[in-house]
Amino acid sequence: MKFEIKHRYTSAILFTAETKSLKLAVELGVKSGAYLGGADLRGADLEGAYLGDAYLGDADLRDAKSISKYITTPLYMLLDQVGKIRAYKLTTAEDEGPFKGGIKYIVGKTVSAKADKNENIPCGYGISLASLDWCMSNWQKGYKIKVCEFAHKDIACIPIASDGKFRVSKCKVISEKDLKELGLE
């Protein structure tokens, strides 16, 4: 039987395999080094599948059976941190978030917002922080990258298969990254 693993938004075919099950097709894709970021794996029965080398960032794993969400993103390490934690916030030239705006991220200020706790929603309301590589990949001319500090209790949600973003309910803006040092300007 032929199985096609498609991108969850574009429906582009990420990997195709002639095999007995979707589980085996996913394993073959992982073994061959196929990029499965954004894969639509809704409802797949992945019990016993070896996914140790898989990149499943932004994959849709809702209702996937027998797969641990903890294998979908390294961001779950945030849940084991104690004390103050730091991450990054991408902002516009006006110091607002680039996608929804409204909150001003000014160095030295603490910001807070009600945050969506639904881990099945990759981009919900609240304060979205991210890894540095995510901020750099989504940076555009005029944008800034802020360093923000928060506590474990402020983490509202780490979306399943996150591509590098997570939500907090409160954080303090500590500093602004030097874009020249990062090679962005």
pLDDT band (50, 70, 90) for residue 52: low
- Sequence-distant (≥ 6) Cβ neighbours of residue 68 within 8 angstroms: none
Q: What region, left, alpha or beta, does residue 152 occupy, with left being phi > 0 and alpha being psi -120 to 50 degrees?
A: alpha
What Cα–Cα distance (Å) separates residue 92 from each residue in 6, 66, 72, 124, 174? 33, 40, 29, 19, 17
- Regarding pTM above 0.85, the answer is no
Q: Could you report the per-residue pLDDT of 101-121, keeping only the tens digit for each?
A: 789 999 999 999 999 999 888
Q: Are 18 and 2 a contacting pair, CB within 8 Å?
A: yes
Query: Residue 66 burial (CB < 10 Å; 0-12/13-18/19+)?
Result: exposed
pLDDT (mean) for 39-59: 71
The answer on pLDDT for 25 being more than 90 is no
The gap from C-alpha 84 to its chain's centroid, in whole angstroms, comes to 21
pLDDT band (50, 70, 90) for residue 11: confident
For the ranges 37-46, 47-56, 130-139, the lowest mean pLDDT is seen at 47-56
Segments making up each domain of the chain, as ranges: 1-72, 74-176
In single-letter form, the type of residue at position 24 comes to L
Q: Are 146 and 175 a contacting pair, CB within 8 Å?
A: yes
Among 92, 169, 161, smallest CA distance to 128 is for 169
Query: How large is the C-alpha radius of gyration of the chain?
Result: 18
The answer on pLDDT for 62 being more than 70 is no
Q: Could you report the per-residue pLDDT of 151-170, keeping only the tens digit for each?
A: 999 999 998 878 899 999 99
SS3 61: coil
Where b means 16+ CB within 10 Å and e means fewer, 118-139 reads ebeebebebbbbbbeebbbebb
State the DSSP code for 163.
Answer: S
SS3 130: strand
The answer on pLDDT for 26 being more than 70 is yes
